Amino acid sequence: MGDETWTIIKTLRWTTAYFQSHGIDQPRTDAEVLLAHALHLKRIELYTHYDKPLRDQELKTFKSLIQRRILHEPVAYITGGKEFWSLALIVTPDVLIPRPETECLVEAALDIIPEGISLDILDLGTGSGAIILALAHERPGHRFSAEDRSDDALTVARKNAQRYGLEKAITFLQGDWFEGVQNLRKRFDIIVSNPPYIPTQQIEPLSPEISQHEPRYALDGGKDGLDAIRFILRTAPNYLTSNGKLFLEIGYDQCPEVADMVEELGCYKDFVCRKDYSGNNRVVRATIE
C-alpha cells in the first residue's frame, strides 16, 4: 500500500489478493469483516460506500489488522466479537471461539426445556457463556448456572451476560468441572457442556488459527479425546435430579465410544446422538435413571 488514494473497493480487492497469497482460508470474507471493523461500518455499507477514500488513520488502523490476520490470528480475536445464536458476543483469546456446530447443542437442549416450569440448568466449561446465554435468552424464568476453571473466561462470560441484561439470571461459578458447584448442595435438571474433545496428537496439525491461538485447555481432550467426556459422564449422576438430562458436544467420530461408556456406566437411559448441520454426529443426550 503506497501513497495513492485507497477507496473501500480498491482496499478490499488488494486485501483479498494479499490474504490469498498468505494462505488465508476466506480471504474476501475476512477482508470485509476487518475493513468494516476498522471503519466502524456494517459489511453491506462497504458496498454502498465503495468509492469512499480511506483517511490516513483509517488506513493505518486497517494495516495493523491485516498484519495480525496474516499471522493467522483468528478474526474473532482481532475484532473482539463473534455472533452465536444471533447474539453478538465478546470474544477474547481467553475463550474458545463459538462454533456453529455448538448451536446444535443449544437446539437439543431447547427441545426439552419447557416454558412455565422453572428448572435448574448448568453449563460446564462455559467459556464465553455462549451456550448458557442462548438458553437463558430463549427460555427466561429458569435457574441458570455456568462454571469455568478460568477466571478470565468468566470475566468474558459475565460481560456478555451484562450486554443482554442476563447477569442476574445466571450464577457464574469458578472451578474445574464440578468443583464450582459442590458447595451449592443442589442437583440440576439439565447439564450441558461443550468439553474439550480433540485428541492431543491431533491439535498441532490443525490450522494455526486453532492450534496457535485458541486456549489449549478448551481443546485438548487427552490421548483419545475423551478424558473430559469420560469424567463428566461418570460424575454427572451425582449432580443430576432423577430423570435429569445430560447434553454433551462430541467429536464427529466419537458417538460409538460415548455410547459404550454410557452403557458400561449403567446409570443412564434414553441415549440419543444428534447430527449437526453437516450431517455429522455432534451432540449426545443421556437421561439419568
At residue 194's C-alpha, the angle toward residues 235 and 197, to 5°, is: 85
Amino acid 208: pLDDT: 94
Confidence check: pLDDT of 3 > 80: no
Please report the sign of the dihedral spanned by the C-alpha atoms of residue 77, residue 79, residue 154, residue 189. negative
* pLDDT confidence band for 2 (50 / 70 / 90): low
Give me the amino acid identity at 41: L
Backbone angle region of 105, left / alpha / beta, with phi > 0 → left and psi within -120 to 50 → alpha:
alpha
CA distance 32 to 6: 15
Confidence check: pLDDT of 70 > 60: yes
Amino acid 1: pLDDT: 57
CA distance 26 to 14: 14
What average pLDDT does range 81-88 have in this prediction?
Answer: 95
What average pLDDT does range 137-145 have in this prediction?
Answer: 94
Amino acid 220: pLDDT: 96
What average pLDDT does range 11-26 have in this prediction?
Answer: 95
Neighbours of 116 (CB within 10 A): 5
Q: Tell me if the domain spanning 94-288 has CATH number 3.20.20.60.
A: no
What average pLDDT does range 98-116 have in this prediction?
Answer: 93
Amino acid 182: pLDDT: 84
Query: Could you tell me which residue, 4 or 255, shows the higher pLDDT?
Result: 255
Three-state secondary structure call for residue 43: helix
CB contact at 8 A, 178 and 155: no
**Parallel, antiparallel, or unpaired: how do β-strands 268-275 and 240-249 relate?**
unpaired
What average pLDDT does range 20-48 have in this prediction?
Answer: 95
> For 219-268, what is each residue's pLDDT tens digit?
999 999 999 999 999 999 999 999 999 999 999 999 999 999 999 999 99
Amino acid 289: pLDDT: 83
Neighbours of 56 (CB within 10 A): 9
